[in-house]
A = this chain, B = another copy of it.
Amino acid sequence: MIRGVISKLGKGGVSLKNYKCFQRQSLTTEWLYPSYKQPGVSFSTSTCCGSKDLELTSVRYNVERGNYSKVTEADIAEFAKIVPNRLVTDADEIAGYNTDWLRIVKGASQVLLKPKTTKEVSAILKHCNNRHLAVVPQGGNTGLVGGSVPVFDEIIISTQLMNNIISLDDLSGTLVCQSGCVLESLDNYVSEKGFIFPLDLGAKGSCHIGGNVSTNAGGLRLLRYGSLHGSVLGVEAVLADGRVIDCLSTLRKDNTGYDMKQMFIGSEGTLGMVTAVSVLCPTRPKACNVAFLGCTNFADVLSTFKSAKGMLGEILSAFEFLDHQCIEVVEQHLDGVKSPLETDYPFYVLIETSGSNAEHDEEKLNQFLESVMSKGTVQDGTVATDMTKIKAIWGLRERIAEALLHDGYCYKYDISLPINKIYDLVEVMRNRLEKTAVRSVGYGHLGDGNLHYNTTSREFNKDLYGQIEPFIFEWTAQHKGSISAEHGMGFMKKNYMRYSKSEGAFDLMTQMKQLMDPNGILNPYKTLPKQY
């Protein structure tokens, strides 16, 4: 018996009661996945993190400058030779490159360089290394942990003009491009040949592939296509001393020696600057469906996940969850954004399928929904019938972060945990902060074991902050989780590494940094605790 089904045909979807009648969706590729700009770019500075006149990172976080040289006239003259007319020293023009979009960090760089070629990057780094000048590689500057912004006067090397697509093999789907290509442009480009870029995330309209690779970005398609450690076939990077490391293979298999490209994936530009990548792009699915479901408790969410893995199998492309507090904050702060379900539930699940045959996908989804409804693990739900509805449902999930900022100040955590422990953390934190926080919410990529835990206050509250950290990291460590699932360490989290990594692994990382960047000029104050 299917329980708790409420018809809401007029409200942005099709009730599960009627889900059998929905129309086959054969989508054009351009609509296959939602594309959202990062929510922050449209904010006024006063609503974003509660700070209009942002303090310098070095002041706010009391950082000591490393013993690097300062840029001289002679250095500027040298840079002008390497990147003629692509050297910026105007303070106003550099301002945007000195701050992140979340406005949590602010640097004081006075030099911005815009190379076009690997050779130019090599010449810049060689000079900087010889002169002991610190640098920060910067892509789209869309990071969430302050990894791409200078802390002091590091020279900014932007990949903005390194935006050439080099090749696309239309048999294998292997794309080769420079590191400054914008993710969304790459996805559009490969879609014309019937492929899909294996990475998708909210910032796709601005982020650069070089930054994605350097931060091992996760995002919405990881459940289906795996991490960049698998789908990146090749990397070209420049070491601190200017040596070009050409591991730009386009082969799916290559077991000739150590896989050195892996060291540049996720090391946040601290071991080398990524200048080009090759990526294996899968065949683009022809069909897409999205279901939004209500559950009574978290155990039912887990059970629904298990059923989805079994019954949707190879077509399952996203399994996201959010708690009711997420819906509350979105409905409170964002005009026109509403839950597509009429009744409230403690938990919601967003499921996306994508595959090569729309009818088969629908049939699998129908069978799955019948099963979870009859078992009672899902109480109610809606299946999106067209791309407007699909986008609306994805929008609800994607705009939680934006809505939370309207509370005043938002403390953001990006945690990996064993899947069955994932919501325990939210409950523990909610109880702990009950008296001081405005609210605590939990949502994220359940299929990947990735929780986004967020709590808010009217303004930055040092006591509350002290109640959260380091407790949240300790709890995560006790439960064998990771304190950074997909955002990376950057500047903001570098000191908490030991909560997630063993001493042995940490020592090896430190040795690695020493080996590949002995002067520590590459993106200092980031990733690893103090080493400069």
A residues near B (Cβ < 8 Å) are 169, 171-172, 194, 215-216, 218, 222, 226-227, 229-231, 239, 243-247, 249-260, 262-263, 265-267, 271, 283, 285-286, 302, 305-306, 309-315, 355-357, 360, 363-364, 416-420, 445, 448-450, 480-489, 493, 497, 499-502, 504-509, 511-512, 515-516, 527-528
Residue of B nearest to A170 (CB): B306
Given A230-B230, A245-B504, A505-B260, check contact A486 B253 (CB 8 Å): yes
Given A257-B501, A416-B251, A485-B253, check contact A226 B230 (CB 8 Å): yes
Q: Is the Cβ of A480 less than 8 Å from the Cβ of B512?
A: no
In angstroms, Cα B11 to Cα A248, docked, is 47
What chain B residues lie within 8 Å of A488 (beta carbons)?
Answer: 255
Q: Is the Cβ of A504 less than 8 Å from the Cβ of B243?
A: yes
Quick one: which of B239, B253, B355 contacts A222, CB cutoff 8 A?
Answer: B253
Given A230-B229, A356-B364, check contact A222 B259 (CB 8 Å): no
In angstroms, Cα B501 to Cα A246, docked, is 8
In angstroms, Cα B88 to Cα A278, docked, is 48
Q: List 28 A-B contacts (CB under 8 A).
A: A171-B302, A172-B419, A218-B253, A218-B255, A230-B231, A246-B505, A247-B501, A249-B482, A251-B480, A251-B485, A253-B449, A253-B450, A254-B500, A255-B489, A256-B482, A256-B500, A257-B509, A258-B271, A259-B266, A285-B313, A285-B314, A312-B356, A313-B356, A314-B315, A315-B356, A357-B363, A511-B515, A515-B515
Q: Is the Cβ of B364 less than 8 Å from the Cβ of A257?
A: no
What chain B residues lie within 8 Å of A485 (beta carbons)?
Answer: 251, 253-255
What chain B residues lie within 8 Å of A257 (beta carbons)?
Answer: 267, 489, 497, 501, 505-506, 509, 527-528
Residue of B nearest to A481 (CB): B251
**Closest-CB distance, A262 to chain B (whole angstroms):** 4
Residue of B nearest to A230 (CB): B230
In angstroms, Cα B258 to Cα A507, docked, is 11
Give the interface centre of A216, A222, A258, A259 by most chain B CB atoms within 10 Å.
A258
What chain B residues lie within 8 Å of A249 (beta carbons)?
Answer: 482
In angstroms, Cα B500 to Cα A249, docked, is 9
**Closest-CB distance, A276 to chain B (whole angstroms):** 13
Give the interface centre of A271, A285, A502 by most chain B CB atoms within 10 Å.
A502
What chain B residues lie within 8 Å of A420 (beta carbons)?
Answer: 171
Q: Is the Cβ of A194 less than 8 Å from the Cβ of B230?
A: no
Quick one: which of B194, B245, B306 contacts A310, CB cutoff 8 A?
Answer: B194
Given A283-B309, A314-B356, check contact A512 B258 (CB 8 Å): yes
In angstroms, Cα B481 to Cα A512, docked, is 29
Given A255-B486, A419-B171, A508-B245, check contact A229 B357 (CB 8 Å): no
In angstroms, Cα B214 to Cα A223, docked, is 25
**Closest-CB distance, A503 to chain B (whole angstroms):** 9
In angstroms, Cα B511 to Cα A418, docked, is 36
What chain B residues lie within 8 Å of A266 (beta carbons)?
Answer: 255, 258-259
Give the interface centre of A172, A250, A256, A483 by most chain B CB atoms within 10 Å.
A256
**Closest-CB distance, A175 to chain B (whole angstroms):** 14
Q: Is the Cβ of B448 less than 8 Å from the Cβ of A482?
A: no
In angstroms, Cα B509 to Cα A39, docked, is 42
Give the interface centre of A171, A239, A419, A493 by most chain B CB atoms within 10 Å.
A171
Given A194-B310, A313-B356, check contact A497 B255 (CB 8 Å): no
Q: Is the Cβ of A482 less than 8 Å from the Cβ of B250?
A: no
Q: Is the Cβ of A259 less than 8 Å from the Cβ of B254?
A: no
Quick one: which of B243, B313, B489 contacts A355, CB cutoff 8 A?
Answer: B313
Residue of B nearest to A272 (CB): B508
What chain B residues lie within 8 Å of A515 (beta carbons)?
Answer: 511-512, 515
Give the interface centre of A246, A255, A420 by most chain B CB atoms within 10 Å.
A255
What chain B residues lie within 8 Å of A283 (beta carbons)?
Answer: 309-310, 313
Quick one: which of B253, B267, B306 contacts A448, CB cutoff 8 A?
Answer: B253
What chain B residues lie within 8 Å of A360 (beta carbons)?
Answer: 357, 360, 363-364
Q: Is the Cβ of B247 less than 8 Å from the Cβ of A355?
A: no
In angstroms, Cα B507 to Cα A120, docked, is 21
In angstroms, Cα B249 to Cα A309, docked, is 22
Q: Is the Cβ of A259 less than 8 Å from the Cβ of B252?
A: no
**Closest-CB distance, A201 to chain B (whole angstroms):** 13
